[in-house]
Structure 1
Amino acid sequence: MKIIIFGGTGFVGLNVAEALLARGHNVTLYDRKQLPEGADRSFANYREQLTVVQGEITDVERIDALLKQGFDAIVLGAAITAGDQLERTNISAILEVNVMAQVPILGAAVRRGVRRVVNLSSASAYGAAGQRYEVLDEETPCDPVSFYAISKFTSERSVARLAELRGADCLSVRLSAVFGPWERIGKVRDTPSLQFQILAEFARGEPALLPGRGMKDWIYAVDAAEAVAMLIEAERPQHRLYNISSGAAWSALQWGEAFAALHPGLECRLARPEEKTFIQLHGSDRAPLSVARMADEFGWRARFGCAESAAHMSGWWMQHREAI
């Protein structure tokens, strides 16, 4: 298929692109930033399948002209992943990029006959409900609080409403706490995972001192990308919304210890009361996401648990240490 990923040179976008290219699809990445140098090397074997287009997500005319070339599927992955600081200073930008920019893209997708649209949403859409339930499934009532969470929940409802009005084939996925290859921070992403922060300390030659254990239902980006690829390829998905998570909670501390064990000299532990740490916990604890819907319909389960993802990320880190 011909697939375009908006936000394609970002963290999750690159992982989705890699999964799709490996499955033989032709992929176009649309993003304001070019392909990172390390990714350019990694994707060298896919040059005939890969196109990178640099542009703003708000450039309606350019995007419409691009979609006119004909695509089978769209991945809506462009987003401002905002923490408290970005929320204080960029509320309008968060809503513009995460919600309003989708509207003309969805309209163009319908006009140009795009077969499927997959919207990358977030577990943050559950919001305060994450503290009221033991497990979060796709039918759990949402109570988003932050502007980022509000924007992601609104994007889901916008996509669902367009599907109703235009008969479009659109669905959304709620990604749990994602970490893994190609993660980086920047002006549109100020909430790096604990795993990224652990590796950043290792790259500086420092011990990774955590302020807390960091217990979440983490999902390795490679697993998340394979789930998205599966949904793009699915002939007739039974639902319009899917959770993507490992389905099991484990701590970032445990992950850091497993990673450090593979590299003599590295150390990951909890910070002592008198020690200062630059590692930050982002977001409050919440219940894990249920992945029963993905498992029952597609037989999908995350392949990488704590130890497996640490080992895989170790190999990636040795090749791309400059990316951290």
Structure 2
Amino acid sequence: MVTLVTGGTGFVGANIVKDLVQNGHQVVSFDINGPDQLLQDFLGEYSSSVAFVQGDIVDPVSVERLGQDHQIDKIVHAAVYTVNREVLEIERSRDVIAINLEGTANLLELARTQKVSRFIYVSSGAAYGSALPGDQTLNEETPAVPGNLYGITKFASEMITRRYGELHGLSTASVRLSTPYGPMERVTGHRAVMSVFYDWTGRAVRRETIIAEDMDQGRDYIYIADIADGIRAVLDAPALPHGLFNLTTGIWVTFHQILDAVVELSPGISVETPAPKTDAGADSYSRGPLSGHRLFDDLGWTPKYDLKTGVANYIQWRKESNFLD
């Protein structure tokens, strides 16, 4: 019996695949992209233990074939079109809906026909949208008010996942991620806007000047290995008291704190601070931190990485893998 991970060659999916196979799961990765050398190196000795299948989650025939070729017991649906800029939302509106909604429906139908024991939908804090002012904490009882297609399709997929489970007797859960950073973040056809961690650690390993802009910003960032560990905790739990969980450190991290960590770990690196921008723009809203109390209360899960440890591991991975982008 295998665990299927969609989006298994992407940023979040690759880390989930690695964590699962390290912890005894027989993993099939389903992604429109095959594994490249960076991913093979990232998985290391576990690479040969993963079955990589290329295909499109929007194609129901390709998804159905997975059930014919593999005995699937669990599914982690992480494939997504991540769009967090309005210009991309305008250009790729139909693709966002197709991948994020039709893809979810196809995977849930596979879960139904395979009678899987657990289906995990990897969602996002973007589902909350502007539900509360940016200085307030968001828990799973906070009504979702997504404001863009990405958040809307994430929230809709959560609802579809929940209802499919109720109708067809499936154990399902949606997991809303706070903002991840770490190894395997890179530009792909379905992920174009990179985090400040990606930018600054890249400049640090290349020994380039860090351009420290928008320093009043922040997020509840979480190291990607904690994301993978938390997903596995929900996937493998004997029972789930709830069907929706936030996966987060619950700690607000400012750009100033991130910069301090990168500079401390990169002695001699230069930093340039441009004049502050005066136009906030339409994308300036930043939600508050997610609350992680439910995941802790239900399953006893807590994150293992603080900011300094996460940044140190990320920089070390970049150097060891010679990932300088």
Question: What is the Cα deviation at residue 120 of structure 1?
Answer: 0.6
Residue number in structure 1 paired with 2:292: 291
Q: Structure 1 residue 283: deviation in Å?
A: 5.5
Identity %: 29
Residue by residue over 1:266-304, the C-alpha shift from the partner in whole angstroms, topping out at 9 and shown as x without a partner, is 2346x23189xxxx9976222110100011111111111
Secondary structure of 1:128's match?
A: coil
Structure 1: gaps (5+ residues): none
* Contact kept in structure 2, 1:182 and 1:323, CA below 8 Å: no
Structure 2 counterpart of 1:196: 198
What count of residue pairs does the alignment treat as equivalent?
319
- CA shift in 2, pair 1:172/1:2, >3 Å: same
What amino acid does structure 2 have at the position aligned with 1:20? L
Deviation at 1:245, TM superposition (A): 0.7
The reply to whether residue 57 of structure 1 matches residue 57 of structure 2 is yes
Query: What SS does the aligned partner of 2:173 have?
Result: strand
Native 8 Å contact 2:41 2:321 kept in 1 = no
SS of residue matched to 2:268: coil
Q: For residues 242 and 296 of structure 1, what CA distance do their matches in structure 2 show?
A: 11
Once the two structures are superposed, what CA deviation does each residue of 1:1-28 show, in whole Å capped at 9, x if it has no partner? 6111111100000111111111011111
Q: Is the 8 A contact 1:80 1:97 kept in 2?
A: yes
- Looking at structure 2, the residues matched to 281 and 202 of structure 1 have their Cα atoms a distance apart, in angstroms, of 30
Contact 2:3 2:25 in 1 (8 A): yes
How many angstroms apart in 2 are the aligned matches of 1:228 and 1:132?
A: 26
Which residues of 2 match residues 88-103 of structure 1 at below 5 A? 88-103=90-105
Deviation at 1:85, TM superposition (A): 2.0
Q: Decide whether aligned partners of structure 1 residues 81 and 208 sit closer, same or farther in structure 2, where only a CA change above 3 A counts.
A: same
Partner of 2:204, secondary structure, is helix
CA shift digits 1:226-260 (9 cap, x unpaired): 00011111111111000001111112332232122
Q: In the alignment, is the contact (CA less than 8 A) between 2:165 and 2:172 conserved in 1? A: yes
Aligned twin of 1:219: 222
Residue 316 of structure 1 aligns with which residue? 317
Query: What letter is aligned with 2:52?
Result: V
CA 281–71 in structure 1, closer or farther in 2 if over 3 Å, else same: farther
Q: Residues of 1 paired with 2:274 and 2:140: CA distance?
A: 39
Q: Does 1:179 align with 2:181?
A: yes
Q: Which residue of 2 aligns with 1:302?
A: 303
CA distance in 1, matches of 2:15, 2:282: 24
Question: What is the distance in 2 between the residues matched to 1:24 and 1:166?
Answer: 28
Partner secondary structure for residue 118 of structure 1: strand
How high is the TM-score relative to the length of structure 1? Answer: 0.92
Q: Distance in 2 between matches of 1:133 and 1:125?
A: 17
Which residue is 1:155 aligned to?
157
SS in structure 1 at match of 2:72 = coil
- Whether the 8 Å CA contact 1:191–1:282 is kept in 2: the answer is no
Unaligned 5+ residue runs, structure 2?
Answer: none
1:164–1:74 CA distance, 2 compared to 1 (3 A): same
Q: Deviations over 1:115-146 (max 9, x none)?
A: 11100110010001142772100010111101
Q: Would the aligned equivalents of 2:182 and 2:223 in 1 still touch at CA under 8 Å?
A: yes
Alignment RMSD: 2.1
Q: What is the match of residue 239 of structure 2? A: 236
Query: Paired residue for 1:4?
Result: 4
Task: Tell me which amino acid in the other structure corresponds to 2:315.
Answer: S
User: C-alpha displacement at 1:73, in angstroms?
Assistant: 0.7
TM score, norm. by length of structure 2: 0.92
Q: Check the 8 A contact 1:253/1:268 in 2, yes or no.
A: no
Are 1:118 and 2:124 counterparts?
Answer: no
The aligned counterpart of 1:85 is: 87
Give the direction of change, closer, same or farther, for the CA distance of 1:320–1:101 in structure 2 (3 Å limit): same
Which residue identity lines up with residue 32 of structure 2 in the other structure?
R
Partners of 2:266 and 2:134 in 1: CA distance:
40
Residues in 1 aligned to 2:156 and 2:265: alpha-carbon distance in whole angstroms: 42
Cα deviation, 1:20-57, whole Å, max 9, x if unaligned, reads 11101111111111113122123231245211111112
Q: Which amino acid aligns with 2:297?
A: D
One-letter amino acid matched to 2:288: A
Runs of 4+ in 1 over 4 A off after TM superposition: 280-283
CA distance in 2, matches of 1:51, 1:283: 41
**What secondary structure, in the 3-state scheme, does the structure 1 residue paired with 2:121 have?**
strand
Secondary structure class of the residue paired with 2:131: helix
Alpha-carbon separation, structure 2, partners of 1:218 and 1:133: 15
The one-letter code matched in structure 2 to 1:44 is G
Cα distance in structure 2, aligned partners of 1:100 and 1:174:
19
Match of 2:265 in 1: 262
